[in-house]
């Protein structure tokens, strides 16, 4: 379940009990996203993160025991935000294919606005492998559930499973890298999502 207000929750994050504390935690997570995104984990520093956040250095340790703990919390937070951005674009009346198109379009928009998510998630493979794996496994699980729901409604094949979910996720990740991160900035994300959706619907073989 996503954390309330988009805040990360894990054993190494000392969950605040007040609204002021939640705002401070949010500042630290947002500042760390910029710091880690620009400098990478190893070059980033706690002092620089707290300066960006506008909080005292000592305040950091009210919420996190270490830079590693903050990084782990940030990966969880970003993963939740990725999933929330996709979920918010969906509605009950959408067909199975419309759901996949809308989810991808929303992810592409999120990635274009938060390009640092790619660097941070990629670094997690080495800094905190467990959170890296959990990020992708949890997204694949959501996609698999959507595919199976489509199969139960008779809109998709009824034998779709984990392999198709991971394949779709892989397409989405690399389309995002190419166009949301490396793009010229004028690409229409909805058109890209439509193109991917057409491939899912029609395949890539020539129709006679």
163, 142 contact by CB (below 8 A): no
Provide the pLDDT for residue 10. Answer: 44
Measuring CA to CA, how many Å separate 27 from each of 51, 60, 63, 78, 96? 10, 11, 11, 14, 37
Instruction: Classify burial at 62, counting beta carbons within 10 Å of its beta carbon; exposed 0-12, middle 13-18, buried 19 or more.
Output: middle
Provide the pLDDT for residue 22. Answer: 95
Per the DSSP assignment, residues forming a β-bridge with 64 are 13
66, 74 contact by CB (below 8 A): no
Terminal-to-terminal C-alpha distance of the chain: 47
144, 165 contact by CB (below 8 A): yes
Provide the pLDDT for residue 208. Answer: 73
Provide the pLDDT for residue 144. Answer: 98
1, 79 contact by CB (below 8 A): no
Provide the pLDDT for residue 6. Answer: 43
CA 122-124-125 angle, to 5 degrees, is 75
Provide the pLDDT for residue 14. Answer: 79
Give the residue ranges of the chain where pLDDT is below 50.
1-13
**In this structure, what are the phi and psi dihedrals at residue 64, rounded to the nearest 5 degrees?**
-140, 145
- Whether the predicted model's global pTM rises above the 0.85 cut: yes
Provide the pLDDT for residue 4. Answer: 40
């Amino acid at each position: 379940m996503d954390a309330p207000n988009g805040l990360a929750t894990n054993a190494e994050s000392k969950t605040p009990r007040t609204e002021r504390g939640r705002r401070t935690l949010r500042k630290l997570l947002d500042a760390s996203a910029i710091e880690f995104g620009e400098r990478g984990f190893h070059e980033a520093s706690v002092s620089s993160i707290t300066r960006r956040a506008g909080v005292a250095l000592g305040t950091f340790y009210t919420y996190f025991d270490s830079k590693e703990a903050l990084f782990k919390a940030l990966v969880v937070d970003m993963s939740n935000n990725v999933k929330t951005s996709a979920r918010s674009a969906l509605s009950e009346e959408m067909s199975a294919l419309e759901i996949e198109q809308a989810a991808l379009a929303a992810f592409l928009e999120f990635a274009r606005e938060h390009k640092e998510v790619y660097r941070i998630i990629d670094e997690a493979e080495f800094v905190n492998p467990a959170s890296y794996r959990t990020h992708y496994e949890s997204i694949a699980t959501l996609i698999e559930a959507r595919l199976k729901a489509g199969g139960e409604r008779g809109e998709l094949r009824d034998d779709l499973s984990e392999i198709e979910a991971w394949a779709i996720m892989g397409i989405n990740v690399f389309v995002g890298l190419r166009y949301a991160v490396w793009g010229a900035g004028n690409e229409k994300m909805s058109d890209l999502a439509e193109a991917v959706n057409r491939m899912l619907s029609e395949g890539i073989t020539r129709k006679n």
